[in-house]
Amino acid sequence: RMDQALLLVRNELPAQGLRLAALSSACHQCLYQFLVFVPPSNGSLRKPGTAAVMVDTQHPLTLSLNSSVGDRELCKIQYHFGEFGNYSLVVKTLSASAKTVSCDLVINEGPINSYLPILFAFLVYMGILAILIVGRLFMKIDPVRNWVYKKLNPRETDRLINSELGSPNTTDSLSSDPTPRLWSTASRQRLRSLDTFRGLSLVIMVFVNYGGGKYWFFKHESWNGKLHFPSALFSRFVFIMGTSISLSLSSTLRWGSSKRKVFGKILWRSFLLILLGIIVVNPNYCLGPLSWDNLRIPGVLQRLGFTYLVVAALELLFTRVGAESGTLETTCPALQDILPYWPQWIFILMLEVIWLCLTFLLPVPGCPRGYLGPGGIGDFGSYPNCTGGAAGYIDRLLLGEKHIYQHPSSSVIYQTTMPYDPEGILGTINTIFMAFLGLQAGKIILSYKDQHKQIMSRFFIWSIVMGIISAILTKCSKEEGFIPINKNLWSISYVTTTSCFAFILLLLIYYLVDVKRLWSGAPFFYPGMNSILVYTGHEVFENYFPFKWKMQDSQSHAEHLTQNLTATTLWVIISYLLYRKRIFWKI
């Protein structure tokens, strides 16, 4: 199967059987897991004892061979097996008189290169991009442009070329109008970089949710550890939601809407997001018709809805007239995007104190206080039912085991048996903090309006600050920090680390799209304009053609990657067509 290799163990020792166990390098402080017993060789027939076993190829393994007589360790081998490879482990004595045992690993059949489909897909998409760029350059040639104008509607074609597929630096805009048509007054009211940022995160999220070609590195980290790209996607989506809250509320209040009316809209939108998450996008549908017996209460949209409610209400309650435009006088102009909002910061800090107290001080039955581990075989199997510590305990206590996620990412490597929900109650506190940091990015854009250098420098400073905090909390290590980076727990170090990269990414996209206008944001801009529709749609229609079809070889990365990329591309095309028709699903 995918991510597996075949290992044939040959035991030439005449009087003792062998016990083979393995330990994955990705499993922190784990127990060795028994794989297979290899019988002793038949000395009279000179026939070695043999046993075959499948071994994992995702991470390097440490193999331990122990004698069945006295449980003595004979040898230990560290090796990273290749996918679909065929290996032999030959165990024998070096000589008849000596008791020294040798363990030789032999490659019978080499593994395949499972990464070639990724390279091929990359070249295909780069080829499509090159064709679009060449087509854009040809459209700058007057005879070609005139021929296209004769075949198509001139006004519509010009809008398509200049506004959606290319750079604003067209011949017409440079020669006749100092302000490119793409950046008219109407379009400047909405920053394309925000929709591009949201769309980029969403497109990759869709690809990962569809399977990511069944590659292990497109899956979430089992527990603590470095940020795989998928592990930061949801946090970036939360971050840019906070940024959008700041800009949209500022615009709405400037148009004269009352705070009471705006708060009513906030409540309604939050309710719809939570309702969509519970009823429409619910992974427990795979267990049969939706019923209260197995209804998963937490979820992505549920957490987005509640986070939106808290952060938007916080911004609405404490917003001050003139603060967002920089006209409000402050004692320290360099902090004009922070000081006017000090009540919000106190509220957020209080939430973080609550998270710290519950995480590290709440007594959890059968678990050490402040436990942050995965349970299962982690921590040498000492706390098998303590998955998530206080976070898991609170969810199981308040929501019930049947109403949370049943198959957490820790179940694969750490073999956990307890249900655990990565979108649970306690982690929502830090999700609010993540959205608040995005809100801070929006305040920077409003406070330093049209001052591009100031905006980008503030983004960079915030990124550095968050990075320093992360380095302190984690001690720059995977497992040994005060609070390790953990997406399942939404630990505070996970928030500071992902926000560090979110500020940098927003800075780059803002520079390319809204400052230098070197990139229109396509194609990610279009899903970003219809994010709720794309996210909900990709979940609802996940198992329907043309987003999924029966594969000839379900153990082929190439087929899975083709299917997942096709489905993701289709949603980008759908969002583009909806954009052309000016159809946007807003709630």
Catalytic residue among 28, 59, 220, 403: 220
The C-alpha atoms of residue 405 and residue 283 are separated, in whole angstroms, by 8
How does strand 61-67 pair with strand 4-11? unpaired
Q: What are the tokens at 18?
A: 């062998």
220 is catalytic: yes
Determine how many CB atoms are found less than 10 A away from the CB of residue 389.
25
Alpha-carbon Rg for the chain in angstroms: 28
Cα separations (Å) of 271 from 124, 194, 207, 264, 309?
A: 42, 24, 27, 11, 9
Q: Is the peptide bond before 143 cis (omega within 30 degrees of 0)?
A: no
Q: What are the tokens at 405?
A: 């996620």
The C-alpha atoms of residue 206 and residue 342 are separated, in whole angstroms, by 37
Sign of the alpha-carbon dihedral angle for 306, 310, 311, 317 = positive
Cβ-contact 291, 402 below 8 angstroms: no
Cβ-contact 237, 205 below 8 angstroms: yes
- Our CA angle for 539, 543, 547, nearest 5°, is 85
Length of the chain: 587
Amino acid identity of residue 23, one-letter, is: L
Cβ-contact 298, 398 below 8 angstroms: no
Cα separations (Å) of 4 from 50, 208, 228, 427, 507?
A: 19, 21, 21, 34, 41
Q: State CA 206 to chain mean position distance.
A: 10
So which residues are the catalytic ones? 220
